């Protein structure tokens, strides 16, 4: 009998139902659709790749609160704490690192980037002193045949995969045009001065990382290899030294459809933009990288805590320019000159305020969130 009554009730036309009932149904449906859409804070938080001090998740009380409320795009890990001038920072041993990463992913809903700079040579966060394997520098690697390069990068990728890392911030595709460059050539981070050699080695690096569900990014766009100054330390002007040849590795690799992400450089080049360094430059990122080179993937900034940015721009100004220029993922390593335990909240509040004051459009935020989501799905899916 009850089923019969319900069946008859459901057949009644909506025009016979009380208006208030219909309005209630409509409002519930509308609210359901609205609640399924992420709010502005949630979307803006996805644009942050954050650094922190802790070797165990239980030591990250300030971070855990932010994680639960607004999960960021992910985290960047280091072995050495630059502001404190000491170890450890995040990495002690393979078992400890795997546990830390697992706890972070659990707290973040298994959708976080876990990023490191693991290039080989002097730039490597997972070192033999912690129980990992050391690998040749880029310059050394370029002297080897393809099968040897592939072997080394395959082993590196497997090591990162076991640790739970899903984003390796490499390879460096800067040309070794100035061997005395304090941040590239002198550290043997560049493969070669020959763009074809750079593309050859970078291609193998990316292929082996991708086979192990590890995303990569080419760096540092539009080229840091000719600089005479370290952008970690201050203003870096390459106006007199940079040439268009430094774009060739990007052209070659994009032609092959290789990169899913590209990292910016904090270099200033008056021939491209007379006002702003590359990370903050719409002319450089949208004009050259997006329009001229046709790149449609993820753009991430070099560390926004580097002195080339912090000594010349306030946090609000830097975020405004970077996002409007086209940066999708903003790195705040918190491993520069100073440590700011509240940087996540500060950056998030500024981004949200910039949108609400119409200095950045919400559509621009949505574009970045979609690129981040797509990158994770394409390159890191089995790890998140």
Closest CA to 384 of 237, 210, 213: 213
Checking phi first, is residue 131 left (phi over 0); if not, alpha (psi -120 to 50) or beta?
left
Q: Is 232 a catalytic residue?
A: yes
- DSSP annotation of 39 reads P
d(CA 196, CA 284): 23
Contact 107, 160 (CB under 8 A): no
3-state secondary structure 53-97: CCCCHHHCHHHHHHHHHCCCCEEECCCCECCCCECCCCCCCHHHH
User: Phi and psi of 3, rounded to 5°?
Assistant: -65, -35
Helix, strand or coil, per DSSP, at residue 355 = helix
Q: Indicate which residue of 213, 273, 302, 303 is catalytic.
A: 302
d(CA 24, CA 268): 57
Element of type H or E holding 298: strand 298-300
3-state secondary structure 153-182: HHHHHHHHHHHCCCEECCCECCCCCCCCCC
Rg (alpha carbons) of the chain, rounded to whole number:
23
d(CA 266, CA 284): 11
Q: Is 302 a catalytic residue?
A: yes
Q: Indicate which residue of 70, 220, 224, 232 is catalytic.
A: 232
Under 8 Å CB-to-CB from 369, ≥6 apart: which residues? 38, 43, 46, 47
Residues designated catalytic: 232, 302
């Amino acid at each position: 009998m009850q089923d019969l009554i319900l069946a008859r009730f459901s057949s009644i036309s909506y025009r016979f139902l009380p208006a208030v009932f219909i309005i209630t149904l409509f409002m519930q449906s509308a609210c359901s659709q609205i609640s399924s859409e992420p709010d502005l804070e949630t979307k803006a938080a996805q644009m942050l790749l954050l650094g922190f001090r802790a070797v165990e998740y239980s030591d990250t009380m300030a971070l855990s609160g932010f994680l639960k409320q607004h999960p960021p795009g992910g985290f960047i890990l280091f072995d050495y704490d630059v502001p404190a001038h000491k170890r450890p920072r995040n990495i002690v041993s393979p078992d400890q690192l795997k546990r830390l990463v697992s706890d972070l992913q659990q707290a973040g809903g298994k959708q976080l980037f876990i990023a490191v700079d693991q290039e080989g040579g002097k730039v490597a966060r997972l070192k033999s002193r912690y129980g990992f394997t050391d690998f040749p520098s880029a310059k050394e690697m370029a002297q080897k045949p393809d099968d040897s390069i592939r072997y080394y990068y395959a082993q590196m990728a497997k090591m990162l995969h076991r640790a739970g890392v899903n984003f390796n911030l490499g390879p460096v595709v800067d040309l070794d045009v100035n061997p005395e460059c304090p941040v590239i050539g002198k550290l043997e981070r560049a493969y070669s001065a020959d763009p074809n050699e750079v593309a050859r080695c970078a291609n193998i690096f990316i292929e082996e990382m991708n086979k192990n569900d590890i995303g990569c990014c080419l760096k540092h766009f539009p080229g840091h290899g000719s600089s005479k100054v370290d952008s970690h330390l201050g203003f870096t002007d390459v106006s007199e030294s940079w040439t268009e040849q430094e774009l060739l590795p990007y052209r070659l690799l994009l032609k092959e459809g290789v990169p899913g992400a590209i990292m910016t450089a904090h270099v200033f080049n008056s021939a491209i933009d007379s006002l702003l360094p590359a990370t903050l430059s719409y002319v450089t990122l949208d004009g050259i990288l997006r329009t001229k080179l046709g790149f449609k993937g993820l753009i991430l900034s070099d560390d926004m805590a580097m002195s080339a940015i912090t000594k010349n721009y306030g946090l609000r100004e830097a975020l405004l320019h970077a996002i409007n220029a086209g940066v999708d993922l903003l790195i705040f390593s918190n491993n520069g000159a100073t440590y700011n335990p509240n940087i996540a909240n500060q950056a998030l509040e500024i981004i949200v305020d910039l949108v609400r004051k119409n200095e950045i459009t919400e559509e621009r935020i949505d574009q970045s969130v979609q690129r981040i989501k797509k990158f994770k799905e394409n390159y890191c899916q089995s790890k998140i």
